[in-house]
C-alpha cells in the first residue's frame, strides 16, 4: 500500500491557482490509472484531470469550488502496490530561491573596525565630502575605516565630520601629538605663466602656506646638511601598554586628561640621552655643540602644517610632569596659542607617525639637531621569547641620525637604550 | 505646360489611355530619365555625396504603374522609381533637395536619395532593407481597410528583394486579409551584381502568387501601356476589396547598381540588346507615328524639362546643409 | 474597484483606451476569440469585433510591420507578441522601420508592442528570455517595464497615447501572482519616470519588473537581520532612463546595486552603471555592482532556472557585500 498525492496542476506558464469544478469520484471510490478524477478551472483553460495511478480515493483535501495555488495537494490516493518513482513535490515556495547553495558571504557588520591604513583608497564620494568639508588627506588617513579592508566609508567620514564640528576639544595628548590636522588653507592662485602650461580644469594651482614653505626649506636643507642614516629597532611595548591600561582611569581622574603613550616614550628618550649625550648636540663647522639640557620637540601635524612644539628642560620633569607638558602643548597647539619660544630651541625630536598606522618610517632630522626618533604603530604580534611564541605589543622605532658625528655604533646603542627603557617591567613610571 | 494641366485632371478615364495620357506617360518617362542623368552629373561633380541610384531602363515600369493610381492611393516606391514619384506629384525641387541632403529637404537631410516620405501625396519612400517595406506597406493597406476607405497601396520590390522573408510574410498577410495591395516586382536581371539565375529557381517570379492564393502576372516592363493596363486591373481589383495582386515587370537595369558600380559583370551585348527595347524610344516611335508627338513639341518638351531641372538643381544647391547641431533632433515625436 | 491582477490591469488599460479612441486596435497571434495565450484579450473580440481585435497570421515581421504601417497611416495599434522571445522574428521591423520613421520622415508612429517577458515560469530558453536590452540600444523606441498592476495599467495607457513606438514589457511571473488597486480611467503613469518603492539611507537598488519584488523582500530581510536600510528604486521606464532619479538615488546612499533578470553582459544595468560613472562619480562610495542572470540562455529544469535567475537571497547577499565595502 502506498499513499500518493494528487496536486493542482499548473495549466500554463502564468497560471498560479486553480479551482476545483467537480470531483468525479467520492472518497472510497476506486479509480483507474488515467481515469478522469476531477475537473478544474483556471484563468486560462478548463481541464479534466486524470488520476496518476490506480487506487482508492482516500481523502479529498480541497472540496468543489475550492481555489488553491498550483502544485497544492488536493487529494490522496491509496494504491495497492509500492509507488514507482518519487512522489511529486509539494507546493513550491512563492519566491524562487531554490537552487545551489549560495557562496559563503561575510555576514553582518564587522564588530571592530580595523585600524587605519596608510595610502589607502578613498571613494569618489569620500573625496568629494572631504573637499566640501575642507579635510586634507593627512586628516583622512588616521580616521579608522569600517569598510572592506579598513576602507574609509561615507559613514565613517560623516561621523568624523560631525564629531569635528560638535565635540569640544577633548584634552587628549594623543590628539595633540597625533592631531589630525585641520584644513590646510591652500588658496587657488592664478599665475598666467603656469596656467598656460597647466590649463584648468585639469590642473589646479595652489599657493603653498608659509608653514609649508618653511617645512620645504627645512627639509631640503636638512638632507643637504646631514648625511642621514637610519636604524630600526623593535620595541616590546607590552609593559608600557599594560602600565597604561592599569593606570589610565586613575590618571585621568587625578589629572583631568587622558594618559597617552607619548610621556612613556619621552621619558625613555630623556633617560637614554642622559646616557649618550652626544645625540643631544648640533654641529658648527668642525665643532660639536653638546647641550646640557634637553628641549624635547614633538612633531605635530596641525591645521596649518607640520609644527614641532618643544618641552623645555624636559630632563627636569618626572613622568607626570612630562605628561602635563605634552598635554599643555597639545591644548595650546589646537587653540593656536603657541608662542614663538614654544617652537624654538629644540635639541632632539620625537615624531609619532604610528598614529597614522605607519609601522616604519624614515624621518628627517630637524636641524640643527643631529637625531630624530620616529615611533611606529603599536601592533600585537607573535614573537619568540625563550623559544616560546607569545603575543606581544610591538612597535618599530627608527632613529635617523647625522653620520657626521654619530656612527652606527652610537646610534644603535642609543636606540637600544630607548628600547630597553620601554621594555623594563620593573621601571617606575611614577604617577 | 499642357502636361501638368492634364495631370491635375482625370487620368486614363474608363481605364483607357487617351492620347493626352500617352503624351503624359512619355513626358514623365523623359522627365525621370533626365532627372536621373542630372543626379549622375551632380554625383560625378561631387555635389551629391554618398551614393546615386538611378533607374535607366525602369521608366516604363515606374511611370506606367503609378499612373494607375488615384490621388488618394498610397505609393511605396523604391530607389529606381523616380518616375513613379513624379507621377504621384513630387516636385523636382523636393527631389533634388533630397538628393543633395539639404536642410529644406523632406527628410531635413537626415536621410538621402529616395528615402523620403511626402504624406501630402501619400508617398512613402524605401528603406535600404527593401523587403522590410512590404509588411509596412501592407499595414497601410490594413489601416485603409479597417477604416473602410477605398484607397489602394502600391509597393515595389526587386528580383533580389523578393527573396527576403518579409516579402513572403507581408504578401501572405495581405492575401489572407484580402487587403487593397498591389506588389510590383521590378525584375531588372541583377540584384547588385547577382544575376537572377542565382536568386531564384522559379520559372517566373509571378509563379509565387499561386502560393498566396492571389493572381500573378509577368509582363514586359518596357511597354508602358501594358504596365499601366496590368496595374490598373490590379488596382481596380484591390479597390473592389478582392485582395492583392503580384505583378512581375521584366526589364533591364541599364547601368550598375549605383553610380560607383561599372557593371562589368553584365555579359557583353546584354545592355545593347535591351537598348533596342528602350521604354522611352518605344513609346516615342508610336507617338510620332500616331502624330501625338512631333519633333517640334518634342524639342519644346526637352527644353522645358532641362530648364525645370536646372532651376530645381540651382535652387537646391543654394539651399544649405542642415546645421550639425540638429543631428540629434527629431528622434522622437512630441 | 476591487484589486486587479497584473494581467487584468493590462487588459483594463487596453479596454479603456479602445473605448476612448476608435483608432486603437489590437493585432497579434491567437488574440481574437481565443483571448490570447495568456488571456490578456479575453472578451475583447466579442465586445470590439474583428476590426478592432485582429487575429493575425503567424509572422512577427508581418504583425509588427503592418502595425507600423497602420500607425503611419494614423491608427494606434497595440501589438501582442505571444512571448517576448518571439520579437526576434520581427526585429527588423522594429529597428529598421518603426524606430527610424519619425527621425527620417517626421511622421509619428504611435504603436505599442506588448511583450510577455521573463522567467521564473519554467518556460525554458524560448519562453523566458529578457529581450529589452537589444532595443534599449535603438534610438526612436521607448521601453517600459511595469512592476505592479497600477503601473501596468497607467503605463499601458501612456504607451497607447504616446506618438512613438513603445515596447511594453510585461512580466509573466507577475501576471497572476500579484494584485493591487489600479487608478481610474483617466490616470496614466508618465513614461520616463521611475519611482522609489522603499526608502533607505545605506544602499540603493535600481531595478525594474519582477526583480522589484525580490529586491523589496531582500531590503526587508536586510533591515531586520542587519539593520541595513535599502532604498529600492523601480525604474519603470528603461528608455529613456530616469537619469534624475538614478543620480539622486546615488547621492542618497553612495552605494548602488543594479538588479535585473536579464543576463548581465550588455544588459540595461551596464548602461545605468555607465550613466552613474559619468554623472554621479563623486557621489559613489563603492563600485557600482550589478546582479543579473547568468550569461546563458534561461534553462528549463527548475533547479537550473533558479540558479540562473536573480532571487531574494542572491540580492540579500549582493547587498550585504556592498554594505561591507
- Per-residue pLDDT tens digits for B52-107: 999 999 999 999 999 999 999 999 999 999 999 999 999 999 999 999 999 999 99
Do A284 and A167 belong to one domain?
A: no
B248 φ/ψ angles, rounded to the nearest 5 degrees: -100, 115
CB atoms A125 and C302 under 8 Å: no
Residue B134 with chain C: CB contacts under 8 Å: 65
Q: Classify residue B1: in a domain, yes or no.
A: no
Q: Classify residue B334: in a domain, yes or no.
A: no
Number of CB pairs, chain A paired with chain C, less than 8 A apart: 92
Do A162 and A66 belong to one domain?
A: no
Q: Does C220 touch chain A (CB under 8 A)?
A: no
Rounded to the nearest angstrom, the minimum Cα separation between C228 and chain A is 9
A46 φ/ψ angles, rounded to the nearest 5 degrees: -100, 145
Of C70, C64, C54, nearest to C110 by C-alpha is C70
Q: Classify residue A300: in a domain, yes or no.
A: yes
Do A135 and A58 belong to one domain?
A: no
For residues A339-351, average pLDDT: 85
pLDDT value at position B147? 97
Which position has the grid cell 569620500? A126
The 10 Å CB-count burial string (b at 16+, else e) for B25-44 is bbbbbbbbbbbbebbbebbe
CB atoms C226 and A109 under 8 Å: yes
Hey, of B108, B136, B167, which one would you mutate to test binding to chain C, going by the most C CBs within 10 A of its CB?
B136
Q: Classify residue B329: in a domain, yes or no.
A: no
CA–CA distance, C131 with A427 (Å, rounded to integer): 76
Q: What is the pLDDT along chain C (325 residues), one digit of tens a residue?
A: 789 999 999 999 999 999 999 999 999 999 999 999 999 999 999 999 999 999 999 999 999 999 999 999 999 999 999 999 999 999 999 999 999 999 999 999 999 999 999 999 999 999 999 999 999 999 999 999 999 999 999 999 999 999 999 999 999 999 999 999 999 888 999 999 999 999 999 999 999 999 999 999 999 999 999 999 999 999 999 999 999 999 999 999 999 999 999 999 999 999 999 999 999 998 999 999 999 999 999 999 999 999 999 999 999 999 999 999 9
Q: Classify residue B332: in a domain, yes or no.
A: no
Return left, alpha or beta for B329; rule: phi > 0 is left, psi -120 to 50 is alpha, else beta: beta
Residue B106 with chain C: CB contacts under 8 Å: 105
Q: Classify residue B5: in a domain, yes or no.
A: no
End-to-end CA distance of chain C: 46
Q: Which of B115, B116, B139 sits opposite C66 (nearest CB)?
A: B139
Q: Which residue of B has its CA nearest to C109?
A: B333
B316, B93 contact by CB (below 8 A): yes
Of B135, B166, B167, B168, nearest to B153 by C-alpha is B135
The three three-digit cell numbers of residue B187, written as one number? 525584375
Do A391 and A370 belong to one domain?
A: yes
pLDDT value at position B39? 94
Q: Does C324 touch chain A (CB under 8 A)?
A: yes
CATH of the domain at B196: 3.40.50.970
Residue C306 with chain A: CB contacts under 8 Å: 96-99
The three three-digit cell numbers of residue A198, written as one number? 597647466
CB atoms C7 and A14 under 8 Å: yes
State the residue range of the domain holding B104: 16-315
CB atoms C176 and A17 under 8 Å: yes
CB atoms C57 and B124 under 8 Å: no
DSSP string, A356-425: GT-S-------TT-SEEEEEPPPEEEEEEETTEEEEEEEEEEEEEEETTT--HHHHHHHHHHHHHHHH-T
Do A37 and A168 belong to one domain?
A: no
pLDDT value at position A201? 76
- CA-to-CA separations, B113 to A66, A83, B39, B107, C217, in angstroms, rounded: 67, 74, 10, 10, 56
Pairing of strands A73-79, A305-307: unpaired
Q: Which of B115, B146, B165 sits opposite C104 (nearest CB)?
A: B115
Q: Does C104 touch chain B (CB under 8 A)?
A: yes
- Give A284 or B217, the one with higher predicted confidence: B217
Active site residues per annotation of C: 127
Q: Classify residue A104: in a domain, yes or no.
A: no
- pLDDT score of A387 more than 90: no
ipTM more than 0.90?
A: yes
Q: Classify residue A92: in a domain, yes or no.
A: no
Express each pLDDT in B179-212 by its tens digit: 999 999 999 999 999 999 999 999 999 999 999 9
Q: Which of A12, A13, A95 sits opposite C312 (nearest CB)?
A: A95
* pLDDT-derived band at B246, boundaries 50, 70, 90: very high
CA–CA distance, B143 with B153 (Å, rounded to integer): 11
Of A420, A285, A300, nearest to A350 by C-alpha is A300
Indicate the fold that domain C4-180 takes in CATH. Rossmann fold (3.40.50)
Per-residue 3-state assignment (H helix, E strand, C coil) for C88-117: HHHHHHHHHHHCCHHHHHCCCCCEEEEEEE
DSSP state of A103: P
Rounded to the nearest angstrom, the minimum Cα separation between C132 and chain B is 19
Between chain B and chain A, are at least 3 CB pairs below 8 A?
no
DSSP state of A33: T
Orientation angle between helical segments A262-275 and A408-423, nearest 10 degrees: 130
The three three-digit cell numbers of residue A97, written as one number? 530561491
CB atoms C64 and B138 under 8 Å: no
**Which stretch of DSSP H or E encloses residue C260?**
strand C256-263
**Which stretch of DSSP H or E encloses residue A337?**
none
Dihedral sign, Cα of residue A422, residue A423, residue A428, residue A430: positive
pLDDT value at position A404? 93
Q: Which chains sit next to A, with 3 or more Cβ pairs under 8 A?
A: C
Do A336 and A389 belong to one domain?
A: yes
Q: Which of A43, A105, A153 sits opposite C285 (nearest CB)?
A: A153
Q: Does A132 touch chain C (CB under 8 A)?
A: no
Domain C195-324 bears CATH identifier 3.40.50.920: yes
Q: Which residue of B has its CA nearest to C49?
A: B146
CB atoms A95 and C311 under 8 Å: yes
Q: Classify residue A85: in a domain, yes or no.
A: no
Per-residue 3-state assignment (H helix, E strand, C coil) for chain B: CHHHHHHHCCCCHHHCCCHHHHHHHHHHHHHHHHHHHHHHHHHHCCCCCCCCCCCCCCHHHHHHHHCCCCCCCEEECCCCCHHHHHHHCCCHHHHHHHHCCCCCCCCCCCCCCCCCEEHHHCEECCCCCHHHHHHHHHHHHHHHHHCCCCCCEEEEEECCHHHCHHHHHHHHHHHHCCCCEEEEEEECCEECCEEHHHCCCCCCHHHHHHHHCCCEEEEECCCHHHHHHHHHHHHHHHHCCCCCEEEEEECCCCCCCCCCCCCCCCCCCHHHHHHCCCHHHHHHHHHHHCCCCCHHHHHHHHHHHHHHHHHHHHHHHHCCCCCHHHCCCCCCCC
End-to-end CA distance of chain B: 41
> Could you tell me what percent of chain A has a pLDDT over 70?
84
* pLDDT-derived band at B7, boundaries 50, 70, 90: low
Contact residues for A104 (Cβ-Cβ < 8 A; gap 6+): none
- pLDDT score of A110 more than 50: no
**Which stretch of DSSP H or E encloses residue C200?**
none
Rounded to the nearest angstrom, the minimum Cα separation between B174 and chain C is 9
Rounded to the nearest angstrom, the minimum Cα separation between C102 and chain A is 36
CATH of the domain at A60: 2.40.50.100
Do A310 and A353 belong to one domain?
A: yes
CA–CA distance, A323 with A429 (Å, rounded to integer): 11
Of A391, A402, A355, A393, nearest to A374 by C-alpha is A355
A317 φ/ψ angles, rounded to the nearest 5 degrees: -95, 145
Q: Classify residue A358: in a domain, yes or no.
A: yes
* pLDDT-derived band at A196, boundaries 50, 70, 90: confident
Q: Which of B110, B116, B124 sits opposite C103 (nearest CB)?
A: B110
- CA-to-CA separations, C73 to A237, B75, B179, B235, in angstroms, rounded: 88, 12, 14, 19
CB atoms B138 and C65 under 8 Å: yes
Name the residue ranges covered by the structural domains of chain C.
Answer: 4-180, 195-324
* pLDDT-derived band at B1, boundaries 50, 70, 90: very low
Q: Which of A46, A79, A112 is the last residue of a domain?
A: A79
Pairing of strands C76-80, C237-239: unpaired
Q: Which of C62, C69, C71 sits opposite B169 (nearest CB)?
A: C62
A98, A30 contact by CB (below 8 A): no
Contact residues for C228 (Cβ-Cβ < 8 A; gap 6+): C200, C202, C203, C222, C319, C320, C323
CA–CA distance, B98 with B113 (Å, rounded to integer): 6
C102, C140 contact by CB (below 8 A): yes
Q: Does A153 touch chain C (CB under 8 A)?
A: yes
Of the listed ranges A366-375, A385-394, C88-97, C210-219, the least confidently predicted one is A385-394
Q: Classify residue B136: in a domain, yes or no.
A: yes
Per the structure, the count of domains in chain B is 1
Q: Classify residue A203: in a domain, yes or no.
A: no
C233, C205 contact by CB (below 8 A): yes
Q: Classify residue B200: in a domain, yes or no.
A: yes
Per the structure, the count of domains in chain A is 3
Q: Which residue of C has its CA nearest to A102?
A: C314
Do A235 and A357 belong to one domain?
A: yes
Q: Classify residue B62: in a domain, yes or no.
A: yes
Query: Which residues in chain A (12-41) have CB-CB distances under 8 A to chain C?
Result: 12-17
State the residue range of the domain holding A193: 124-197
CB atoms C57 and B176 under 8 Å: yes
CATH of the domain at A396: 3.30.559.10
Do A176 and A139 belong to one domain?
A: yes
Do A190 and A238 belong to one domain?
A: no
The three three-digit cell numbers of residue A242, written as one number? 599594560
CB atoms A99 and C303 under 8 Å: yes
Q: Which of B74, B172, B332 sits opposite C62 (nearest CB)?
A: B172
Amino acid at each position: 500500500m502506498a499513499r500518493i498525492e494528487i496536486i493542482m496542476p499548473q495549466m500554463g506558464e502564468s497560471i498560479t491557482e486553480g479551482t476545483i469544478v467537480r470531483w468525479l469520484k467520492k472518497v472510497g471510490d476506486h479509480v483507474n490509472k488515467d481515469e478522469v478524477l476531477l475537473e478544474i478551472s483556471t484563468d486560462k483553460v478548463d481541464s479534466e484531470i486524470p488520476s496518476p495511478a490506480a487506487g482508492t480515493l482516500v481523502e479529498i483535501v480541497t472540496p468543489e469550488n475550492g481555489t488553491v495555488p498550483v502544485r497544492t495537494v488536493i487529494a490522496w490516493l491509496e494504491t495497492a502496490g509500492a509507488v514507482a518513482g518519487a512522489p511529486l513535490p509539494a507546493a513550491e515556495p512563492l519566491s524562487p530561491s531554490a537552487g545551489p547553495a549560495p557562496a559563503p558571504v561575510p555576514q553582518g557588520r564587522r564588530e571592530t573596525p580595523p585600524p587605519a591604513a596608510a595610502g589607502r583608497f578613498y571613494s569618489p564620494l569620500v573625496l568629494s565630502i572631504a573637499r566640501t568639508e575642507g579635510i586634507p588627506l593627512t586628516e583622512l588617513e588616521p580616521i579608522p575605516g569600517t569598510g572592506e579592508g579598513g576602507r574609509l566609508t561615507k559613514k565613517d567620514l560623516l561621523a568624523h565630520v560631525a564629531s569635528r564640528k560638535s565635540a569640544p576639544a577633548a584634552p587628549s595628548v594623543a590628539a595633540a601629538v597625533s592631531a589630525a590636522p585641520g584644513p590646510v588653507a591652500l588658496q587657488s592662485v592664478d599665475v598666467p605663466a603656469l596656467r598656460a602650461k597647466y590649463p584648468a580644469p585639469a590642473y589646479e594651482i595652489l599657493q603653498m602656506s608659509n608653514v609649508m614653505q618653511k617645512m620645504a626649506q627645512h627639509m631640503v636643507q636638512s638632507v643637504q646638511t646631514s648625511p642621514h642614516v637610519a636604524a630600526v629597532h623593535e620595541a616590546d611595548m607590552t609593559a608600557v601598554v599594560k602600565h597604561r591600561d592599569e593606570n589610565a582611569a586613575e590618571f585621568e581622574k587625578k589629572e583631568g586628561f587622558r594618559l597617552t603613550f607619548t610621556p612613556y616614550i619621552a621619558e625613555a628618550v630623556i633617560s637614554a640621552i642622559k646616557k649618550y649625550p652626544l645625540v643631544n648636540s648640533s654641529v658648527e663647522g668642525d665643532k660639536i655643540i653638546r647641550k646640557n639640557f634637553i628641549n624635547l620637540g614633538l612633531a605635530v601635524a596641525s591645521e596649518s602644517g607640520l609644527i614641532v612644539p618643544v618641552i623645555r628642560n624636559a630632563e627636569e620633569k618626572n613622568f607626570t610632569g612630562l605628561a602635563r607638558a605634552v598635554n599643555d602643548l597639545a591644548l595650546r597647539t589646537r587653540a593656536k596659542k603657541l608662542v614663538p619660544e614654544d617652537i624654538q630651541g629644540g635639541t632632539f625630536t620625537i615624531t609619532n607617525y604610528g598614529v597614522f598606522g605607519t609601522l616604519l618610517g624614515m624621518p628627517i632630522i630637524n636641524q640643527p639637531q643631529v637625531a630624530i626618533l620616529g615611533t611606529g604603530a603599536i601592533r600585537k604580534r607573535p614573537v619568540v621569547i625563550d623559544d616560546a611564541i607569545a603575543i606581544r605589543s610591538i612597535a618599530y622605532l627608527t632613529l635617523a641620525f647625522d653620520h657626521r658625528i654619530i656612527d652606527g655604533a652610537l646610534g644603535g646603542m642609543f636606540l637600544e637604550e630607548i628600547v630597553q627603557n620601554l621594555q623594563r617591567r620593573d621601571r617606575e613610571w611614577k604617577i | 505646360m499642357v502636361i501638368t494641366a492634364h495631370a491635375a485632371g482625370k487620368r486614363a478615364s474608363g481605364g483607357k489611355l487617351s492620347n493626352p495620357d500617352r503624351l503624359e506617360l512619355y513626358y514623365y518617362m523623359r522627365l525621370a530619365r533626365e532627372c536621373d542623368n542630372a543626379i549622375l552629373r551632380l554625383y560625378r561633380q561631387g555635389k551629391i555625396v554618398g551614393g546615386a541610384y538611378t533607374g535607366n531602363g525602369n521608366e516604363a515600369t515606374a511611370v506606367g504603374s503609378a499612373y494607375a493610381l488615384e490621388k488618394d492611393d498610397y505609393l511605396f516606391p523604391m530607389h529606381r522609381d523616380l518616375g513613379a514619384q513624379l507621377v504621384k506629384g513630387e516636385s523636382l525641387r523636393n527631389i533634388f533637395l533630397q538628393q543633395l541632403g539639404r536642410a529644406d529637404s523632406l527628410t531635413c537631410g537626415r536621410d538621402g536619395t529616395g528615402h523620403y516620405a511626402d504624406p501630402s501625396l501619400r508617398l512613402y519612400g524605401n528603406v535600404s532593407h527593401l523587403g522590410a517595406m512590404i509588411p509596412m506597406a501592407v499595414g497601410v493597406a490594413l489601416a485603409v481597410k479597417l477604416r473602410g476607405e477605398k484607397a489602394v497601396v502600391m509597393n515595389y520590390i526587386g528580383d533580389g528583394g523578393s527573396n527576403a522573408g518579409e516579402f513572403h510574410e507581408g504578401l501572405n498577410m495581405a492575401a489572407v486579409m484580402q487587403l487593397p495591395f498591389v506588389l510590383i516586382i521590378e525584375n531588372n536581371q541583377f540584384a547588385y551584381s547577382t544575376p537572377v539565375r542565382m536568386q531564384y529557381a522559379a520559372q517566373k517570379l509571378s509563379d509565387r502568387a499561386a502560393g498566396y492564393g492571389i493572381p500573378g502576372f509577368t509582363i514586359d516592363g518596357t511597354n508602358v501601356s501594358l504596365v499601366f493596363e496590368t496595374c490598373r486591373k490590379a488596382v481596380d481589383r484591390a479597390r473592389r476589396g478582392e485582395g492583392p495582386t503580384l505583378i512581375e515587370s521584366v526589364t533591364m537595369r541599364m547601368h550598375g547598381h549605383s553610380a560607383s558600380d561599372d557593371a562589368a559583370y553584365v555579359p557583353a551585348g546584354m545592355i545593347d540588346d535591351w537598348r533596342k527595347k528602350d521604354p522611352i524610344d518605344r513609346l516615342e516611335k508610336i507617338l510620332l507615328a500616331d502624330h501625338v508627338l512631333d519633333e517640334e513639341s518634342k524639342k519644346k518638351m526637352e527644353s522645358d524639362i532641362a530648364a525645370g531641372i536646372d532651376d530645381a538643381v540651382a535652387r537646391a544647391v543654394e539651399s544649405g546643409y542642415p546645421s550639425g547641431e540638429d543631428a540629434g533632433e527629431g528622434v522622437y515625436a512630441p | 474597484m476591487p484589486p486587479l491582477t497584473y494581467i487584468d490591469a493590462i487588459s483594463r488599460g487596453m479596454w479603456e483606451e479602445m473605448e476612448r479612441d476608435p483608432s486603437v486596435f489590437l493585432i497579434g497571434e491567437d488574440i481574437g476569440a481565443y483571448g490570447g495565450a495568456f488571456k490578456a484579450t479575453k472578451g475583447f473580440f466579442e465586445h470590439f469585433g474583428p476590426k478592432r481585435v485582429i487575429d493575425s497570421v503567424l509572422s512577427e515581421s508581418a504583425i509588427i510591420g503592418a502595425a507600423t504601417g497602420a500607425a503611419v497611416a494614423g491608427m494606434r495599434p497595440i501589438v501582442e507578441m505571444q512571448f517576448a522571445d518571439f520579437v526576434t522574428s520581427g526585429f527588423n521591423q522594429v529597428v529598421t522601420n518603426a524606430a527610424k520613421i519619425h527621425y527620417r520622415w517626421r511622421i509619428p508612429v504611435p504603436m505599442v508592442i506588448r511583450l510577455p517577458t521573463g522567467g521564473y515560469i519554467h518556460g525554458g530558453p524560448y519562453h523566458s528570455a529578457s529581450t529589452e536590452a537589444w532595443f534599449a540600444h535603438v534610438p526612436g523606441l521607448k521601453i517600459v517595464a511595469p512592476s505592479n498592476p497600477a503601473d501596468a495599467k497607467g503605463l499601458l495607457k501612456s504607451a497607447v497615447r504616446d506618438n512613438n513606438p513603445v515596447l511594453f514589457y510585461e512580466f509573466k511571473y507577475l501576471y497572476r501572482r500579484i494584485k493591487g488597486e489600479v487608478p481610474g480611467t483617466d490616470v496614466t503613469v508618465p513614461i520616463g519616470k521611475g519611482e522609489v518603492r522603499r526608502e533607505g539611507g545605506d544602499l540603493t537598488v535600481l531595478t525594474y519588473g519582477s526583480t522589484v519584488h525580490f529586491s523589496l523582500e531582500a531590503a526587508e530581510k536586510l533591515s531586520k537581520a542587519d539593520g541595513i536600510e535599502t532604498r529600492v528604486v523601480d525604474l519603470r521606464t528603461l528608455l529613456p532612463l530616469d537619469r534624475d532619479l538614478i543620480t539622486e538615488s546615488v547621492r542618497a546612499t553612495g552605494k548602488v546595486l543594479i538588479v535585473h533578470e536579464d543576463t548581465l553582459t550588455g544588459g540595461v544595468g551596464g548602461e545605468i552603471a555607465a550613466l552613474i560613472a559619468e554623472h554621479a562619480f563623486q557621489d559613489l562610495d563603492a563600485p557600482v555592482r550589478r546582479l543579473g542572470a547568468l550569461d546563458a540562455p534561461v534553462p528549463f529544469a527548475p533547479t537550473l532556472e533558479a540558479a540562473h535567475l536573480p532571487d531574494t537571497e542572491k540580492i540579500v547577499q549582493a547587498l550585504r557585500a556592498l554594505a561591507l565595502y
